[in-house]
Chain A
């Protein structure tokens, strides 16, 4: 929903679903939607709920958009319950994705943070190394989306797999994992999360604290890079307004 580049909103039919451990892969017809840049997200109508839910694009086969969803609450459970024949409104792509212009990419994810990695790996091309951490063997079933990945299950942590010279880390996962990566590899590109009502800068509900000020994660992120400093002057706190 950036100036001059409005996001599309379309009613997309459900093509099918697949179970990946506790997660559901929701496959939608692509319609006229663009898949966008890996790390960007879409707002998915959650049947029966007032607000849509933000989801990263997981896979973008021709004619399709697929999302990997962890059923943690009413909205995500409603999305996981969709069946062929259903259709939902989808808005996107939204926000700022990963910068793909990196020399030595290393993809790192924890739990449902795996969601944006398959599309990210595809867009980076070639053999990109991937490190994945999961809470249990059942959760680790999602690793079949990235068959060549190195996988650990708790109590081992994915950050233990990080080499001394990790290269260009692109990561998504729970906050403690992202905080740890920021320490270990300060130049990492990290995809953050916050509850979102609109996904396009309208509600100020999704703020995160950056340099002692609250910025909207949906327009400023969700992927944040090292040295992203804020212009705290009013209205200019979002790169989106100048893009």
Chain B
């Protein structure tokens, strides 16, 4: 079962050995123009969540293609590029540039960053713009902050997405206990970490029912059991986000834990349990295995 990092949660150039411990490295979101990102403080922790407001700091596609890309292909890890923007035209422009780069294995469309203003177009329109610009595999990354994520999944599938990445962060706010002002400079931010787990699981479950696409599941994965759950709900790959901040060695540990979770249930590979949770109730034979 492929293990990736979640976009924005690893820099392969400062931690190449961590990137090499994954099956693919996903870049931080790249936009058409350089972005300074949001002012600090950009991170805060509550009892249950990590909040971030990075604001898609990135060098822009031109500088990325010139400086970062050649160094990333040298790392010898499969390379996925996360793409962001503010219009269908932005997404198409970045995808067109990436289409020429042989070392880019797949593109993930960040359709859902809570820390930047949203594009006026729908996720499906942004996906269609990207689809017209590249033949590379396109993964649409969706927000859990929606009333019907299965509907969004069907729409991006119809627009030409080859896969889904589920989920991005939820919007959250934390206040300083003394001043009662927001702890992040820009107020609210994206909430990630263990509390996102059941939400991510529900999203993967709903989308796996709705579409046939491969799904990269993510949201609060911190142990092999969490990865097992996502696969059971229909994920074909799993990505690690916030856990990498606490434990850069998490990929090897989680892989080993997943294997023993599978073995303990009498399975030899993740494929055997994929989507098992999509059945209506726990079948007796599965629970007695």
Binding site for B on A (CB under 8 A): 1-3, 6, 9, 45, 49-52, 74-75, 89, 91, 194-198, 200-209, 213-214, 219, 233-236, 238, 240-241
Chain A residues within an 8 Å CB radius of B267: none
Does residue B259 face the partner (Cβ distance < 8 Å to A)?
no
CB proximity to A under 8 Å, residues B27-45: 28, 34, 36-37, 39-45
The distance in angstroms between the C-alpha atoms of A200 and B14, with both chains bound, is: 7
The distance in angstroms between the C-alpha atoms of A89 and B15, with both chains bound, is: 19
Chain B residues within an 8 Å CB radius of A6: 17
- Could you tell me the distance in whole angstroms from the C-beta of A192 to the nearest C-beta in chain B? 12
Does residue B64 face the partner (Cβ distance < 8 Å to A)?
yes
Most buried by A among B16, B39, B45: B45
A208 B40 Cβ-Cβ under 8 A: yes
Q: Kindly specify which of B47-55, B198-206, B269-277 makes contact with the partner chain.
A: B47-55
As a 0/1 sequence over residues 48 to 72 of chain B, the CB contacts with chain A under 8 angstroms (1 = contact) are 1110101001111001101110010
A-B interface pairs (CB < 8 A), number: 122
Chain A residues within an 8 Å CB radius of B68: 234-235
Chain A residues within an 8 Å CB radius of B13: 3, 235, 241
Q: Kindly specify which of B138-146, B152-160, B207-215, B243-251 makes contact with the partner chain.
A: B243-251
Interface residues on B, range: 35 or more
A–B pairs, 16, beta carbons within 8 Å: A45-B246, A51-B242, A52-B246, A197-B245, A198-B245, A198-B248, A200-B248, A201-B15, A202-B14, A203-B245, A204-B28, A204-B37, A209-B40, A236-B67, A238-B14, A240-B14
CB proximity to A under 8 Å, residues B230-268: 242, 244-249
Does residue B8 face the partner (Cβ distance < 8 Å to A)?
yes
- Checking B15, B18, B45, B59 against A235 with a beta-carbon cut-off of 8 angstroms, the contacting residue is B59
A75 B14 Cβ-Cβ under 8 A: no
Does residue B11 face the partner (Cβ distance < 8 Å to A)?
yes
Task: Knowing A202-B9, A235-B13 are in contact, say whether A50-B45 is a contact too (CB < 8 A).
Answer: yes
Does residue B193 face the partner (Cβ distance < 8 Å to A)?
yes
Does residue B194 face the partner (Cβ distance < 8 Å to A)?
yes
Chain B residues within an 8 Å CB radius of A207: 37, 40, 42, 57
Task: Knowing A1-B248, A9-B248, A214-B57 are in contact, say whether A204-B42 is a contact too (CB < 8 A).
Answer: yes
> Closest B-chain residue to A205, C-beta based?
B43
> Closest B-chain residue to A212, C-beta based?
B36
Chain A residues within an 8 Å CB radius of B28: 204
> Closest B-chain residue to A53, C-beta based?
B45
* 10 nearest CB pairs, A to B: A234-B59, A201-B14, A205-B43, A234-B63, A198-B245, A197-B245, A234-B67, A235-B68, A205-B42, A50-B193
- Could you tell me the distance in whole angstroms from the C-beta of A10 to the nearest C-beta in chain B? 10
Most buried by B among A45, A204, A236: A204
